[in-house]
Amino acid sequence: MLLRHTPKEIKERKALTVNPAKTCQPIGAMYAALGIHGCMPHSHGSQGCCAYHRSALTRHYKEPVMAATSSFTEGSSVFGGQANLIQAINNIFTIYNPDIIAVHTTCLSETIGDDVNQICQKARDDGKVPEGKHVIHCNTPSYVGSHITGYSNMLKGIIKYFSKSTGVKKDQINIISGWIEPSDMREIKNIVNQMGIKVVLFPDTSDILDAPQTGVHAFYPKGGTTIPELTSTGDSKFSLALGEFATDAAAKDLDSKCKVKFKTIDLPIGLSATDRFIVALSNAADVDVPSSITEERGRLVDIITDMQQYFYNKRVALFGDPDQLIPLTELLVDLDMKPVYIVSGTSGKVFDRRIKEILAESMPDAKVKNGANADLFLLHQWIKNDPVDLIIGNTYGKYIARDEDIPFLRMGFPILDRVGHSYFPTVGYSGAMRILEKILNLLMDRQDRDSSEESFELVM
């Protein structure tokens, strides 16, 4: 249907985003806060923001998502939202009884100039925060950056409030997770367990946004990084930050606050990025890589070997968030595929540099755009001018896929029309195997569909 509305001819756009490949900061802060145990995210703004974020997360995870709002009125927008936030804090602790309230701002509360830090302090001073309970905050103006920026800002807020250095280092490593699925966080824990490393993973949405059916609606499911764990991040001997856009700033803050050295690496998506993750883990914890992991890697390489002819030279368009796109592009290059178009609504020069490095040898002419006007409208125009064999991205790619009749692999946020992302990881070697399986299924189904009767193959 977009076919009829997306012209092939590409014109410079001055001030307009059509079919965005991003959303706003607050939802990222909300998602990050959900990865803390016993935490109630709180949106300081109009109640629509909170409703939209909850709905969007619910559609993606098919899980109840709890978050509260300051419910701004006309009055609060004139006189400031202090009274609303303090009343909210009081009400939330009284009725919903979380351990932590994680406040994030909105475009509205930022524009009217609410000092959320000061308001939270006032709530503490006025005794609205019960003993042993916490209110943390971060600033997430919607007109700066994207949902990834908001995620990053909430991680910074978490470190600011909780990380403490006792002066005695613990034999543990922090893993600061970028914006990935609960299944991915579970897989990362699985990998470090196999390696016998003690880690604090934060945030951790496993057992929160993939909670089992129990007959109970747990307001605070059993998962999530706990307060003692978060506090202890200041005593960890090292931090691994996964995904530069989402986690680098938090890792830096933790280093300057508690002197925890860190390394920022890519999300472990695909073969090479997982290799780097395993090596980084092994170095940081000074442990050997167990054979179970080496063998898993071997199985992944085996699939690539077996199926190389099906990957070879296939043109791919991908869009989404930078931390995913960077290692994913690298995986496609490793598979001998051709990532020809790459789009992210999140701005940042690093993205362009990293992608160009990855593509320098194999695909120097690839079209890469992020930030302003980098949206699905543009991606569609590129595809119309020179088609691809595969599209990878969130659910909104389905319009282009349908209009242009191109196989479509759903990865990223949000996925509104399929399940699986919460349960089956795409990180690590096993995650890469799953990505491969999906790509192969799509390409081979297409080959089956399009082949003539005489060339229709049984054995592929």
Partner 1 sequence: MAGILIQREKQVFRKGADKFDMSCEKNSTAGSVSQRACVFCGSRVVLYPIVDALHLIHGPIGCASYTWDIRGALSSGRQLHRMSFSTDLQEKDVVFGGEKRLYQSLIELIDKYKPKSAFVYATCIVGIIGDDVDAVCKRVSNEKGIPVFPVHSEGFKGTKKDGYKTACEALFKLVGTAETKDIGKFSINILGDFNIAGETWMIRDYYNRMGVEVVSTITGDGRTDDIRRAHGASLNVVQCSGSMMYLAKMMKEEYGIPFMRVSYFGIEDTSDALLKVAEFFKDAGITVKTKELIKEETDIYLPEIYKYRDNLKGKKTTVYVGGAFKAFSLIKALDVVGMSVAVVGSQTGNQDDYARLKKMCDEGTIILDDSNPVELANFSLEKKVDIFIGGVKERPMAYKLGIGFCDHNHHRKEALTGFKGMLNFVKEVHSSVMSPVWRFTNRK
Residues 236-265 that bind partner 1 (CB under 8 A): none
What is the amino acid identity at position 56?
Answer: A
Q: Measure the CA–CA gap between 137 and 434, rounded to whole angstroms.
A: 37
Q: Is 7 left (phi over 0), alpha (psi -120 to 50) or beta?
A: beta
Contact 182, 205 (CB under 8 A): yes
**Cis omega before residue 203 (within 30°)?**
yes
Q: Which of 8, 73, 228, 386 binds partner 1 (CB under 8 A)?
A: 73
- Give the integer Cα–Cα distance in Å for 1 and 3: 5
| Stated length of the chain | 460
Q: Is 178 in the site for partner 1 (CB under 8 A)?
A: no
* Contact status: 15 vs partner 1 (CB under 8 A): yes
Minimum CB separation of residue 44 from partner 1 in Å reads 10
**Binding-site size, partner 1 (CB under 8 A):** 84
Residues 137-156, one symbol each (x = binds partner 1 by CB under 8 A, - = not), give ----xxxx-x----------
- CA 380 to mean position of chain CA atoms: 23
Alpha-carbon distance 431 to 423, whole Å? 11
Distance separating alpha carbons of residues 308 and 304, to the nearest angstrom: 6
Candidates 29, 32, 56, 342; binder of partner 1 (CB under 8 A) is 56
Closer by beta carbon to partner 1, 141 or else 425: 141
Q: Which two tokens stand for residue 55?
A: 């709905």
Stretch that binds partner 1, among 54-62, 119-127, 165-173, 260-268 (CB under 8 A): 54-62
According to the binding rule CB under 8 A, does residue 13 interact with partner 1? yes
- Answer yes or no whether residue 16 interacts with partner 1 by CB under 8 A: yes
| Residue 123 Cα to chain centre, angstroms | 31
* Cβ density class 80-95: b for 16+ within 10 Å, e for less: bbbebbbebbbebbee
Exactly one of 96, 312, 423, 456 binds partner 1 (CB under 8 A); that residue is: 96
How far, in Å, CA of 144 to CA of 105, rounded? 12
Taking the complex as a whole, the smallest distance from the CB of residue 228 to partner 1 amounts, in Å, to 23
55 binds partner 1 (CB under 8 A): yes
Q: Which of 162, 396, 408, 429 binds partner 1 (CB under 8 A)?
A: 396
Q: Closest separation between CB of residue 115 and partner 1, Å?
A: 16
Give yes or no for a contact between 245 and 22, defined as CB atoms under 8 angstroms apart: no
Check residue 419 for interaction with partner 1 (CB under 8 A): no
Q: Does 442 bind partner 1 (CB under 8 A)?
A: no
342: helix, coil or strand?
strand
Cα–Cα distance measured from residue 34 to residue 340, given in angstroms and rounded to the nearest whole number? 35
Among 20, 38, 80, 290, interactor with partner 1 by CB under 8 A = 20
- Asked if 58 interacts with partner 1 (CB under 8 A), we say yes
Assign 237 to helix, strand or coil. Answer: strand
3-state secondary structure 123-156: HHHCCCCCCCCEEEEECCCCCCCCHHHHHHHHHH
Q: Does 211 bind partner 1 (CB under 8 A)?
A: yes
Of 29, 33, 92, 195, which lies in the binding site for partner 1, with binding defined by CB under 8 A? 92
Report strand pairing: 390-393 vs 100-105: unpaired
Name residues contacting partner 1, limited to 97-136 (CB under 8 A). Answer: 97, 106-108, 111-112
**Binding residue (CB under 8 A) for partner 1 from 29, 32, 34, 84:** 84
Shorter beta-carbon distance to partner 1: residue 9 or 131: 9
- Residue 282 in the binding site for partner 1 (CB under 8 A): no
- Residue 214 is a binding residue for partner 1 (CB under 8 A): yes
Q: Name the residue nearer to partner 1 (CB basis): 132 or 212.
A: 212
CB 303 within 8 A of CB 433: yes
Which one of residues 31, 72, 238, 245 is an interface residue with partner 1 (CB under 8 A)?
72
Closer residue to partner 1 in complex, CB, 67/326: 67
**Could you say which residues in the range 335-394 bind partner 1, by CB under 8 A?**
345, 372, 377
